[in-house]
Amino acid sequence: MLMTQYGGFGDGPPPYRGIHRDSTGPRGPLGGHTGSVTVLRVAVVEDEPLYRELLSTGLIAHLDDVEVIGSYATGEELFLAVKPSDVDVLLTDVDLGPGIDGTQTGIRMRRSNPRLGVVLLSNFAMPGLLAGLPDDVRGGWSYLLKTSVADLDQLGLAICESAAGGMVIDSALTKTLVPQGSSPLQVLTPRQVDVLARMANGWSNKRIAEDLVLSVRTVESVISDVIAALAIPRDIDGYNARVACVLLYLQHTVSKSETPASRP
Amino acid sequence: MTLPPNYTRLVLSPWPFLLLAPPEFFGVATIVMRGPYTGDFQQGLLASTVAVGASLVLLGVAYPLVIVARRRPWGARLRTTTGVVLVYVILGATQALLIITLSEGFGAHGGSPPLLTVIYVFTRPINLIILAIVVSQLGEGFATMRTVNGEVAERLQLARRTNAMLEAAETAMREESRATLVHQVRGPLRELVRNADGRTDNEVADDLDAFIATRLRPLSHVLHPVSVRLGLVSAVRSLDAEVLLDAAPAIERMDRDGVLLDEGVRLQVYRWIRDRLMPDASTRVALVMRGRELEVSVHPSAAGSLDAVQVVAGLHETGRGVLRAPLRGQVPSASQIASGQVGVEAPVPVRQRIRDVLTTPLPRRVGLVALIGLALVPNQLVAFQFNVDWRSILLGFTTAGTAITLAAIFNLLPKPRQTVSGAVLVVLEWVSTGVFPVLVFSAAASALGLYSTFAQNIGLDLFRGTYRFTIIGLMLVIAHGVVVQAQRALTKATADFEAEERRRAEILAQSRQLDADVAEALHRTVQGRLAAAVVLMRMGRRPEAWDIVEDMAGVEIPRLLDRMGSPLGVAPNPPDGMRIDVYGAEALPDELIGDVRTALGELAVNAQRHGSATRLVVRIVSEGGVWMINCLDNGSGLSGPMTSGLGSRLLEELTARHGGHWVMQSAGSGCRVTLEIPDPQASPSPSPVSA
């Protein structure tokens, strides 16, 4: 049901996938989702056994409307065991050791199943990865730090949003992201950057408004300004405009606290 | 780099003609002097000058013409062996005729019997050809020597330097990594564990989270840039907020797909960029394709130079902040490897070389050539001096027989190789081969009444004889010896070179292995499990989380440090055809590892060289504060006391440096060496322990 209006991918960013985006509050399994929902089928790929176990049985199992259909140590294992069309969301570690990495696994699987959502987990603060994805698989990717998955709210949001074509970037990461020296983001006001960062977290307008102590109407207008300022094409609908903004944001920010320590 | 081991190869050279000129000169002189018709000394010298001089003038005119003809298309036949033989035959025979005719004008033979003319015209080209073979041998031998001493030695030296630099760089990198691990990981984690008591689950989770974010995660860019695995562009972008990276979409795509650079090269390029970034400066990094290389420019750029690992990866700088790196699949060439200062083997002393060359035994084929040469010369001895009667024929055969017999006997005599006595013996035998037949000849001629003036002529005879036999014989020996020694040197140098190549591959493999180990242990095991601990902690499952943390702090990280502590391990690189097994090396203190490795390497080489051992088993145990390093080989055991060799001095020094000593004893079929070194961690000033 979630995917019924899905259109298919062309050259541009993915079209709106059918979730009606409103401002009634955060959606997601823990976000007070009402009405009939389809259970999302999640495949987990993680090479560290302990963490894999924790993810699939300790965490995701606690989410409503989400079902783990299998957990695997490598991308290769996943491809052998699962048909891409049987998976709604792929939850994968980025660095899987030797062999195909998590990003490549996601890209490959997504090309077989264009409706697939991908949640990348990593120890590394490199959400910029998502901005570098090939055009035909953009959108529907989230990026969380491995230490953040205890925040079930965010994990659930990431799974749900990815399945719907949206993006959720770990809030622990967006807190550290700053615009690069010279970038299109320079035209934005600090307020606009704040809103943009929360858009990257996958938050609804209402939640952004609550967080920044603003009215929903103001947030909506700030978002329109951001879309206009970043010259996002008008012919894509609101939801995809958000994704396009987030991608631009990821492309032109770096994690300030993650600069390498100098060698001893 | 192979030699043509062809001892019968013919070259066209003026040298055989010139080498034959002196004996001919004195030959004509003696004949005219002692001939039955003149006997005048000045007349003799004049005859020689005219006859031999004219033959040289003929050579001077004809030889350049032949050389020119060989270069023309129609002269192609002259370049073949048959052509060369033809030149020697025609030119040599013409010279012979000229010499005979002209010396005849001075009354040398009194009527020049046709048989003598035929013999001379026939034997002279053969002499020339034999000399030509000797000359070509010498030429080849020296050319090979030059190759070995030049090109091969240079490549070998280069390979050794590269390896030494690599090892140094590798060791430095490991030490650096180890220090980073100790100070940035082990220390803070221990601190965290100590402070955990009394803190709430969420506080500890926050601490762990902070530890991962501020300690472990930054190390992903420093210690082992795992992030580089995911692409150079993304890794560089996440280096610093002030980095602006310019790259064509095609380059980014290739990088993302892993087809831009080889993994090792990518890592080195990343390290190079990271080391060139200026603190607090906005930096522009550009990636551009240049032929088969990727050009990376960093602006502004900090100063720095490439380290050995980067050089070996094929990186080179074309200016400050401008780097070229080979694209995937482009192997760096040896010429790109820079030079450094590393000790080189001392060259073999000249005296030793002379001994080696002279005592190289002649193969039978070469001996045969020598015999043919010797057999031909007496014909001339006979032909020029007397009319053909039974006495002169007897004389000729006696002389030839003596020479051949002597040469054959001497060739068969065993000669000590590579020794002064052997070299002296070789020279003596060729001098004897030259002198004795002449003495026999002179004595016999006197006895037969053919010599009226023995005392007057013996000097010239000796010169001619020694010249033909001794000089040419020795030339043959030297030519052959040079070739053989050069080949041996070449084989050894090539083997050494290959060994260095293998060594380089080994160092790089070890380096990659360590990188992989560190990546595995630190970034996946430690960081991955600590992430799990954070999550568990936040879920209120503290005991489980704490198990993980303590396991990391107490087991995983110390284990990782252990692995990095002994960069190359205790086991040395075994010599070819030998296996070394070391047991119990794990506990050996760091400060002993280097010296013990050197000592074991020396023992292995000695065991192989002196005992033909193929295996060395080393057991390392600690007994009462003393490290006992027991080494047992499967060689032939002790043949005598090993007291003064370089090997034993080295062992002495290596053990004494740590206040220890070593003992050696025969152990049945092999040899047992025990190094006893007091544990440096047990007492600060150890005293040697008796055996």
Tell me: the pLDDT tens digits for B583-620?
877 778 777 877 787 788 778 877 887 778 888 888 88
Nearest to A103 among B209, B230, B536 (CB): B230
- Greater confidence (B388 vs B421) lies with B421
Domain containing residue B606: 579-678
Instruction: Say what the pLDDT of residue B565 is.
Output: 61
Decide if B674 is inside a domain: yes
How big is chain B, counted in residues?
691
Tell me: the pLDDT tens digits for A124-145?
777 877 887 888 888 899 999 9
Domain containing residue A93: 40-255
Decide if A1 is inside a domain: no
ipTM of the complex: 0.75
A263 with B183: Cβ contact below 8 A: no
Which residue in A124, A252, A256 has the most chain B C-beta atoms within 10 A of its own C-beta, making it the best mutation to test that interface?
A: A124
Which residue in A53, A123, A143, A249 has the most chain B C-beta atoms within 10 A of its own C-beta, making it the best mutation to test that interface?
A: A123
Asked if residue B10 lies in contact with residue B133, where contact means CB atoms within 8 angstroms, the answer is yes
Q: Which helix (H) or strand (E) holds B379?
A: helix B364-385
According to DSSP, residue A3 is labeled T
Decide if A126 is inside a domain: yes
- Greater confidence (B43 vs B627) lies with B627
Asked if residue A46 lies in contact with residue A97, where contact means CB atoms within 8 angstroms, the answer is no
Q: How far is B299 from chain A (nearest CA, A)?
A: 14
* Overall average pLDDT of the B391-412 stretch: 72
Distance CA B674, CA B678 (A): 13
Mean pLDDT of the residues in chain B: 76
Tell me: the pLDDT tens digits for B297-339?
998 888 888 876 677 777 889 888 999 988 876 544 333 433 3
Q: Give chain B's domain count.
A: 1
Please choose, from the candidates B516, B545, B520, the residue with its C-alpha nearest in 3D space to the C-alpha of residue B531: B545
* CATH classification at residue A240: 3.40.50.2300
Decide if A12 is inside a domain: no
Percent with pLDDT over 70 in chain B: 75
- Greater confidence (A62 vs B90) lies with B90
Distance CA B506, CA B499 (A): 10
Decide if A3 is inside a domain: no
Least confident among B35-49, B209-223, B228-242, B365-379: B365-379
Q: Which helix (H) or strand (E) holds A142?
A: strand A141-145
Dig out the tokens for B17 from the structure.
């003609």
Q: Is the pLDDT of residue B688 over 50?
A: no
Rounded to 10 deg, the angle between the B420-447 and B454-465 helix axes is 140
Asked if residue B623 lies in contact with residue B679, where contact means CB atoms within 8 angstroms, the answer is no
Nearest-Cα residue of chain B relative to residue A251: B237
Residues of chain A whose C-beta is under 8 A from some C-beta in B? Answer: 47-48, 50-51, 54, 58-59, 94-95, 97, 101, 103, 123-126, 128-129, 132, 134, 145-147, 149-151, 178, 180-182, 254-264
Q: Is the pLDDT of residue B566 over 80?
A: no
Dig out the tokens for A119 from the structure.
């949640």
Decide if A204 is inside a domain: yes
Distance CA B141, CA B398 (A): 35
Decide if A65 is inside a domain: yes
Residues of chain A predicted below pLDDT 70: 1-37, 181, 234-239, 255-264
Decide if A261 is inside a domain: no
Highest mean pLDDT among A160-164, B247-251, B339-343, B345-349: A160-164
B244 with A258: Cβ contact below 8 A: no
Instruction: Say what the pLDDT of residue A263 is.
Output: 31
Nearest to A147 among B183, B241, B531 (CB): B531
Q: Give the count of alpha carbons within 13 A of B362, CB side only.
A: 27
B-chain residues near A129 (CB < 8 A): 230, 234
Q: Does B524 touch chain A (CB under 8 A)?
A: yes
Distance CA B28, CA B456 (A): 15
Q: Which residues in chain B (543-602) have CB-CB distances under 8 A to chain A?
A: 548
Decide if B526 is inside a domain: no
Percent with pLDDT over 90 in chain B: 7
| Contacts across the A-B interface (CB distance below 8 Å) | 136
* A228 contact partners, CB below 8 Å, separation of at least 6: none
Q: Does B417 touch chain A (CB under 8 A)?
A: no
According to DSSP, residue B416 is labeled -
Instruction: Say what the pLDDT of residue A37 is.
Output: 58
Instruction: Say what the pLDDT of residue A8 is.
Output: 33
Helix, strand, coil shares of chain A, percent, nearest 5, are 45, 15, 40
Q: Give chain A's domain count.
A: 1
Decide if B3 is inside a domain: no
**Which residue type does B279 have?**
P
According to DSSP, residue A169 is labeled B
Cβ neighbours of B222 (radius 10 Å):
18
- Greater confidence (B564 vs A118) lies with A118
- Greater confidence (B226 vs B537) lies with B537
Decide if A203 is inside a domain: yes
Tell me: the pLDDT tens digits for B465-503?
666 667 777 777 787 788 788 778 778 777 777 777 777
* CATH classification at residue B631: 3.30.565.10
Asked if residue A220 lies in contact with residue B182, where contact means CB atoms within 8 angstroms, the answer is no
A-chain residues near B534 (CB < 8 A): 147, 150
A-chain residues near B222 (CB < 8 A): 260-261, 263
Decide if B670 is inside a domain: yes
Dig out the tokens for B22 from the structure.
């002196």
Q: How far is B537 from chain A (nearest CA, A)?
A: 9
CA dist B427 to B412, B472, B473, Å? 15, 12, 9
Please choose, from the candidates B167, B209, B218, the residue with its C-alpha nearest in 3D space to the C-alpha of residue A264: B218
Q: Does B146 touch chain A (CB under 8 A)?
A: no
